[in-house]
Structure formats: structure tokens, C-alpha cells
Chains A and B, each alone.
Chain A
Amino acid sequence: MSASPSARPDAVGDVSASIPHRRPALREALIGYSMLAPAVAVLAVFAYYPLYRLVHYALYRPNRFGTGEVYVGASNIGKVLTSDEFLDGLWISVRYMLYTVPTGLVIGLALALAAHRRLRGIKVFQAIFSSTVATSVAVAAVVFFGLVNPKIGKFGDISFISLAHADSALRGVALTSIWQNVGLTFVIVLAGLQAVPDAVLEAARIDGFGPMRRLFRVTLPLIAPTLLFLVVILMIFGFQAFAPMEILTNGGPARATETLVYKIFNRRSPALISEGSVMALGLFGLTFIVTLLQLTILNRRVHYGE
């Protein structure tokens, strides 16, 4: 460290020598901690404390009279995690991801490839393609309510996406997310394409690469990290989706659109919080895997840029 050997903190007679070394470090630490304090306080109370509470509720359950708690033990966790409710919710969430992630990726890529070119007025098309970022999930859900609702929707009787039947309802709901994600996926892939140096594509062209080979051998490998990032984001959006189900189907019919988050939301009352907490911890596990993936990518990209 920078402290000189004589700068002992308690050396009373050595004030003039110790102050320049010791005081700034302490001062710096104090400034640092006070700058961190607000963020730490918020995240401690609303991120870590709830995590502790989830574990607590998972292990304890209010007694019949609501006067105290009964230890239900880790077996409760196992029981909920293997229950049909949880597994159904998990499977429905996974299916929702399967409906929204690949389609989102393909649509984003197709739109960005179409709109990444020098053309008069291309900005107008880019603005239109990105326009759905202005919608919220709730607005998108109301919009698709008008399109796929079985009673009043223009496409309400198409069986593949019918909200009236348990085996197709989730696909109808997924249209909401697919459409709402168009804008975001488009701007992300477009930004990726714009970062590909023209010189590289030009060199490939001179080497005799046709448009298809340029796309598959040059462009796509170069934007692969962007696409991976997009997949991660879409996965997170997919299994966190809640408003589309609540507004379009209320989880129905026959609970066929009750995703994990939907089930957790409906278990927030004190009577059901034990089960809800275990499910939330399950969702945490899922989030953990996907977010670590995201951080790895983010980190790599950031270091790449330095």
C-alpha cells in the first residue's frame, strides 16, 4: 500500500506524517459507503430481505388459528416443487418461451436484415418496425383482446390460436408477446448489423461470396453475440409474462394459460404464501440460470469493447 512505514494510526506524536496517508483513505471509504448507502438500503430491503422471507415462508406455515407458525420443513419444498401445480406452471411457462423466443428471434432478424440497407426513406420503415416498443404489455394485451377474443375478435374462431380451447389458448396469448417484442428485437438486431464493418462485407464480396454466403459465413457469425443476448432477453420476458394471460384469459380455459408467475401471483395471500414462496424460489432457480447466461454475455461484450 501507499502508507509509509512510520504512519502508524495510533502514533500520537506523528500526526503530521500520518494524516496525509491515513485520513484520505478513511475519508474516501466514508464517501464511498455514503454514496452506496441509498442503493444498498433499497436492494437490501426489496431484494435480499424478500429472498430471506421466501425461504422462511417455504419452511413455515401459519397455524390454523393464524396465531403462530408451524415448521413444515424442507419436505414442504420438495412437495410443492414436485406437485402438479408447480410442474404444470413450469411447463406452461416453458411452452410460452418456446412460442415466443424462436419466433421473436426470426422476426427480429428478418426485419433487421430487410431494413438494414441504403434506401431513400429507410428511416420511415425503421421507425415503423421499431414502433411496438411504445406499447406496454397491458396495451398489447388489450389490442390482441380485440383481435383474438372468441366473442368479439376478428380472428377469434381460428382454431390454432383460439382462446376458447385449452390446447390452443396459450398460442393465442403468445401472439401478444410476439407482436409486442417485434420493436425491441428489431432495434437490437439492427444495432448488431450496423456494428458490422462495411469493409468486412466488401472484402467478402471481392472474394466472390454471394449474398447468401455473406449472410451465413460473415454477417451471422459476427452478430452471434447480439443474437445470443436477444435470446436471453426473450427468454426472461417469456417466463416473466403475466399481463397477457391475466387480461386475455385469466389463466383459463381450464387453467391452460396459468404460467408460473401467474400461479405465484395468485398465491400472495397469507393463506397460500407458503406454496407461493416455494414456487417463487423455483422461479428464482430458473432466473438464476438465464441471468448468469446474460451476465456472461454482457461481460464479454463489455470487455470486448475496451
Chain B
Amino acid sequence: MRDAGWYVVLSAISLVVLYPVWMTIVRAVSEPFVYIQRRQPMWPVAIDWGVFRTAWADGAMGRAMWITLVVTAIITIAQLVTSVLAAYAFAYLRFPLKNTLFVLLIATLLLPIEVTLVANIRTIRELGWLDSLQGLSAPFLASAFGIFLIRQGFLGIPSELRDAARLDGFGHLAFLRKVAIPVNRPLIGSFVLITALSAWNNYLWPRAAVTEQRWETIQVALRSISSQRPERFNVGIAAAIIASLPILALLVVFQKQIIRGLTAGAVKG
């Protein structure tokens, strides 16, 4: 009986959370004029599935998706490499100025892209990198968060394991490749997913680093597609749905890892 009560509560909350999603689908597939004439019902009217094809073709979404995918891949791979290397150095090697360098790198958390935007855009412009893949990805090729997170993982490796590897004649690179990374695969996997997610969803930087429509990432393209006249609004909404599908697929497959990454730092572990 108490269970039934909870099912009612949980279902009610689910309906509220999903309501915007449902209304978005309804709007996308409904003919805009008929929909407004009928006073915006809860269900679709004058359904037209072709809107997805229109959105894909009109907004040049294919190209935008492709650019976003490439930029996401560049950023994710680069952050993985730069973070793992730096994290390893901070966790296992001794060298002068180590603590100073660590503090300086972590302190870049205080300099998010919102703060550095105007200056970085200037730099990118001077390099001639506006409207280019390198311009879209350059500021995100390393991350203080990644270094910090992966260093924590490396520090968690028991010292017996390190000593055993050393006795086996493992050099630093061998230890990194055969022990440190494999042992921390879950953590690194979560980090990769979170990085990819935020690279794909990035808005402010690509908005500023792109001046020609053909270099727009998918998130920025959504703005141009959706700011059309009301009678074409269904197309913009359909575009937003298409743009979410890759991330949705990622979430379905890697739900556990993504959630672990999102909650890293919130609770110990």
C-alpha cells in the first residue's frame, strides 16, 4: 500500500520532468499554424514527420554535427593525453618546482572560458584561427579538473603495486601503460565521457570563435535554426531533438560511467 503511494509520487514527478520533452516532440511534429489555432493541445495535430528531414537539410545539420564530432574528438583525446601525462608526473615523479607548478595548473580553474573569452578570441583571431577546427578546440586541450581527478586516481594505487612493478623492471612509461592507466580505467572512462559531453554541448566559445555559418557547431547552429519565423518554428525544435540524439545514445549506453563522472568530487570514492 505504501509502495503504491510512492509509485504515484514518482510517476507524477516523472511526468513533470518529462513534460517539456513531450511538448517539444509534439511541437516538432505538429503543423505550426494548426497547432496554434487549436490552442496548443497536449497531443500532436496535423502530424508531419518530414520536419526532421527538413531540419537536417535546411540547417545544414549534417555539416554542423560533423564539425562538432571532430572538435569533440580532438578535445577529448587531447585532454585525456595531457591530463594523464601531467597527473602521472605530479603523482609519481620528483622534480624541482613540482608544488608550484601543481598549484599554478590547478589555479586555472579560476580562469574559466567566460573570464578569458575576450582575450582568447583576440589570440585566436591573431593566429588566424577564427572559423577553424583548431580555433574551436585550442583552449580546451588541457584541463585542471582532469589533471586533478586523474592524479587522485593515481595516488590511490597501493605502493606495494608500485614496488612490485619497479622490481619487475618497469620504467615510468611501462608502469603508466600497464598498471596506472588500467587500474584507473573506470575513473578515466568517466572523465573521457564527461569531457566529450561538455565538448559536444559547449556553446559560448564556439559562438564567439565562429563568424561564418558553415563553421557553426551543432549547438550554435540550433540558435540560428530556431530563431526563424514562427511558422517555421517546428523545424528549429526538430533540429534540437536531432542534436540531442547522440548524447542521449551515449547516456543510454554509458549511464553508470557518466553519472560517476558527474558526481566525482561530490562524494568520496
Contacts and interface: CB of A to CB of B under 8 A. Distances in A.
B93 A35 contact: yes
Interface in B112-145: 112, 114-123, 138-139, 141-142, 144
Contacts of A177: none
Contacts of B244: 134-136, 139
A39 B82 contact: yes
Given A142-B240, A247-B227, A302-B268, A40 B105 contact: yes
B243 interface: yes
Contacts of B259: 130, 133, 187, 191
Interface in A77-95: none
B118 A57 contact: yes
A230 B233 CA distance: 35
Contact of B119 (A57, A143, A298): A57
Given A226-B267, A268-B117, A32 B93 contact: yes
A160 B40 CA distance: 20
A54 B123 CA distance: 12
B60 interface: no
Interface string B241-269: 00110011011000100110011011111
B111 A284 contact: yes
Interface residues of A, number: 94
Interface stretch (A6-14, A165-173, A259-267): A259-267
A288 B115 CA distance: 11
B214 interface: no
Interface string A27-67: 01101110110111111011111110110010000000000
Contact of B123 (A36, A46, A138): A46
B96 to A, nearest CB: 7
Given A47-B116, A242-B204, A277-B118, A146 B27 contact: yes
A171 to B, nearest CB: 16
A145 B200 CA distance: 21
A70 to B, nearest CB: 18
A305 B13 CA distance: 34
Main secondary structure of the interface of B (DSSP, over half): helix
Contacts of A264: 114, 117-118
B142 A188 contact: no
A283 B110 CA distance: 10
A103 interface: no
Interface residues of B, number: 95
Interface in A155-192: 179, 182, 184, 187-188, 191-192
B209 to A, nearest CB: 10
B186 to A, nearest CB: 15
B268 A43 contact: no
A287 B112 contact: yes
Interface string A221-244: 000001001100000100010110
A129 B13 contact: yes
A280 B116 contact: yes
Interface stretch (B15-23, B46-54, B157-165): B15-23
Given A117-B6, A136-B200, A136-B244, A246 B223 contact: yes
Nearest to B127: A45
A187 B115 contact: no
A4 B265 CA distance: 43
Interface centre among B9, B86, B123, B250 (most CB of A within 10 A): B86
16 contacts: A28-B94, A31-B89, A39-B86, A40-B86, A57-B118, A114-B9, A125-B11, A125-B13, A129-B17, A135-B247, A136-B203, A138-B201, A179-B17, A195-B269, A261-B114, A305-B268
Interface of A: 25, 28-29, 31-33, 35-36, 38-43, 45-51, 53-54, 57, 111, 114-115, 117, 119, 122, 125, 127-139, 142-147, 151-152, 154, 179, 182, 184, 187-188, 191-192, 195, 226, 229-230, 236, 240, 242-243, 246-247, 261, 264-265, 267-268, 270, 273, 276-277, 280-281, 283-284, 287-288, 291-292, 294-295, 298, 301-302, 304-305
Query: Which are the 6 A-B pairs with shortest beta-carbon distances?
Result: A305-B268, A50-B119, A136-B201, A42-B142, A29-B95, A50-B116
Interface of B: 3, 6-7, 9-11, 13-14, 17-18, 20-21, 23-24, 27, 32, 36, 40, 78, 81-83, 85-86, 88-90, 93-96, 98, 101, 104-106, 108-112, 114-123, 138-139, 141-142, 144, 147-148, 152, 172, 197, 200-201, 203-204, 207-208, 219-220, 222-223, 226-227, 230, 233, 236-237, 239-240, 243-244, 247-248, 250-251, 255, 258-259, 262-263, 265-269
